[in-house]
Each structure stands twice: as C-alpha cells, then as structure tokens.
Amino acid sequence: MKRNRLQTVGIVLTVIGLIFLVAAGVAYAKVQDGYGALDQFSAAENVTLSYNEDGQLIDQGTTDGAEAIMTLLTDDWGFKVNEGDLNPDDPVVNTASEFMFQMATVGYHVLNGTQTVVLTEDVEYKGEVFAAGTYDFDVDGRYWADFDRSHPLEGPARSQAWSGTVHGLFGQLGVGTVTHSVLQIGLAIAAAFGAIGGMAMLTGFGLIWVSREQPEQNLEISVEPRPDRERAGV
C-alpha cells in the first residue's frame, strides 16, 4: 500500500514537472520573440550611443558630456544602470539602460539649453516692461512644470524647449525601457518555471524508482551434517 502511494505521488510530481517545463519553453519562446521584435525596431530606427576608441561613452565628442548625462540619470532620476547593457560593440539602443541613457541625453540638452524668444511688441508683466526684440533665455534646469507660462519669456521658452518632439521622444524611450524590463522579467519567470519543473520531475522519478516492485528472492538453506554427529549416529 505504501509503495502504491509513493508511486502515485511520483507520477503526479512528474506530470506537474512536465507541465512546468512546457510552460517554461513557451514563456522562453515568447520572450525571445519580444527581444527579436525590439531589436528589429531599434535597428530600423538606427538610434545609437556614441563611444570613443577606448569603449567609453561620449556625448558631442567628449566623455565629460556623457558623464554629466550619466549623473543626471543615476543621481537626479535615480535609475540603476546595468553596465552590461552598455556595449560599444552593439551601440544600437535596445536595452533598458540604453533607452534611459538616450532619454537622459535628450533631457540633459533640453535642461541646459538656451531658447531664443522673439517679442514683436513691448510686453509688461508684473510691473516690468519687456521691450520688443530678441532674447536668449536659459532653461537653467527647468522642467515643463517649472516655467511660469504667463511670463513673456518663460512661456514661449517652455514650449520651445519642451516641445512635442521632446515629449514624444520621452514617451517612446520610456516604452522601450519598460518593454525591455518586462522581457527580462519574462526570462526570469521562464527560468524559474524550468527549475521548478526540473526539480518536480527529478523528485517524481525518484519516488517512482523507490516504490518499484522488488523481485522476490528464493533463499535456499543447506544444512551439512557435522562429523561428530555422524559418528554418534545422530
């Protein structure tokens, strides 16, 4: 009875393990499809990061520019960069860290840029008169919500700095980041399913092997007469 129970449990575990392995295979295949689609989309866009001959990230030809962008990304935005994603041999932007670095590149140049605002007539704002003419307005680290949109210079500068194109790039790069992160989670889930399935099948096979029927052994006992008993006529 005990052997039958062990065998049943072993069979159930084996079947469960097989289901997990199949699920792991399907999940892995779907993840690879996602990686392939993301790579093809990134290659079609041909957006790449720039590296120097030493494999260091650069922006506008200098490592200082890239370091400033990385500081914005890691310190100001708090993003954890995976250095393994930054590969000079594969500069196409197709990983979470690369998408975020590209987003930080756009953001850095907007935040530190200068916008030219043209006033066609004199404008008075809060007691200050801004004469008609051309003004160079420093964004000075202002995000979209940091501008005074009623100000005769800040209002136009905000629309020019944080244009629809910039917001669109942020949105697209953000989607790329999330997509790659989800694919990584999917890969981890596939690996977990595979490990669980393998352990379940191994345990199931072990229980089936332990509970297998043992062949009956016929024991033959031979008794040899003792010489002293033969002499005694026993």
Instruction: Tell me whether residue 229 is in a domain.
Output: no
**Residue 222 banded pLDDT, cuts 50, 70, 90:** low
pLDDT in tens, 56-103: 999 999 999 999 999 999 999 999 999 999 999 999 999 999 999 999
Instruction: Tell me whether residue 222 is in a domain.
Output: no
**Residue 216 banded pLDDT, cuts 50, 70, 90:** low
Domain count, the chain: 1
Instruction: Tell me whether residue 203 is in a domain.
Output: yes
Instruction: Tell me whether residue 217 is in a domain.
Output: no
**Residue 217 banded pLDDT, cuts 50, 70, 90:** low
- Predicted local confidence at residue 223, as pLDDT: 57
Core vs surface per residue 187-226: b (16+ CB within 10 A) or e = beebeebbebbeebbebbeebbeebeeeeeeeeeeeeeee
- Is the pLDDT at 234 greater than 80? The verdict is no
**Is 49:101 a contact under the CB 8 Å cutoff?**
yes
177 SS3 class: helix
- Predicted local confidence at residue 82, as pLDDT: 92
- Predicted local confidence at residue 29, as pLDDT: 93
Instruction: Tell me whether residue 38 is in a domain.
Output: yes
Residue 82, CA distances (Å) to 6, 99, 186 in order = 47, 12, 18
**Residue 228 banded pLDDT, cuts 50, 70, 90:** low
Higher pLDDT, residue 219 or 209: 209
Instruction: Tell me whether residue 221 is in a domain.
Output: no
**Residue 35 banded pLDDT, cuts 50, 70, 90:** confident
pLDDT in tens, 140-185: 999 999 999 999 999 999 999 999 999 999 999 999 999 998 998 9
Q: Can you give the pTM of this predicted structure?
A: 0.78
Half-sphere exposure of 74 (CA within 13 A, CB side): 12
Lowest mean pLDDT across 29-38, 124-133, 210-219: 210-219
- Predicted local confidence at residue 204, as pLDDT: 87
CA 46/CA 61 separation, integer angstroms? 19
Instruction: Tell me whether residue 198 is in a domain.
Output: yes
Instruction: Tell me whether residue 230 is in a domain.
Output: no
pLDDT in tens, 176-212: 999 998 998 999 999 999 999 999 999 988 888 887 7
96 SS3 class: helix
Domain holding 179, by residue range, is 2-210
DSSP β-ladder status, 133-138 and 114-119: antiparallel
CA 210/CA 183 separation, integer angstroms? 41
